[in-house]
Structure 1
Amino acid sequence: MSEYYDVILGLIPLAFLGTIGGFSFTGFSLTTAVTAAGLVGIALVGHALFVNGPVDRAPATTTSPAQNASGPMNAPVDAE
């Protein structure tokens, strides 16, 4: 299943080409179309980084390292 960042990575080139095509079709110069497309790409990346930024996921388990599946660990006792 696609996650948010996968969608953003797919939208960047689509938005770039779509914006250039749209601006060129309406009669703007290529320079203006590429500049506008770059701004759309920057907006998508900015949204992905700052508005919906990546966060660390919660750990899978909440047990401490001392409570592992093999049971508690006992330190050896030195017999003198």
Structure 2
Amino acid sequence: MTGYYDIVLGLIPLSLAGVSGALTVAGVELTLAITVAATIAVLFMGHALFVRAPTDPTPTEQSSSHTDIASVNAD
């Protein structure tokens, strides 16, 4: 199953190669094309790190009305 972060990892080199290649073919200088492509790759990484940050899964709480632990009689 492909997750969000797998897609981001695929988009980083795709944006670097694809955008810089497309801009170079369109007539933009290579240094400017690489700069624009790298900026797009950094935006993908920034979104993955800060907007949709990875989090630890939160444990679900068990209902306290029914317990499976045997009661201890201290008498």
- TM-score, length of structure 2 as denominator length: 0.78
| 3-state SS, counterpart of residue 18 of structure 1 | helix
1:32-56 deviation per Cα after TM superposition (whole angstroms, max 9, x unaligned) = 0110111011000011011111111
Q: Partners of 1:29 and 1:2 in 2: how far apart?
A: 35
Give the ranges of 4+ consecutive aligned residues of structure 1 lying more than 3 Å apart after TM superposition.
none
The CA RMSD measured in Å over matched residues stands at: 2.4
Query: Is 2:2 the counterpart of 1:2?
Result: yes
Q: Residue 32 of structure 1 corresponds to which residue in structure 2?
A: 32
| Mapping of residues 1-80 of structure 1, within 5 Å | 1-59=1-59, 62=61, 71=69
Bigger RCO of structures 1 and 2 (CA < 8 A, at least 6 apart):
2
Q: Partners of 1:52 and 1:20 in 2: how far apart?
A: 26
Higher Cα Rg: structure 1 or 2?
Answer: 1
Q: Partners of 1:21 and 1:38 in 2: how far apart?
A: 12
Give the fraction of aligned pairs with identical amino acids, expressed as a percent.
42
Q: Partners of 1:55 and 1:13 in 2: how far apart?
A: 24
Structure 2 alignment gaps of length 5 or more: 63-67
Matched positions, count: 72
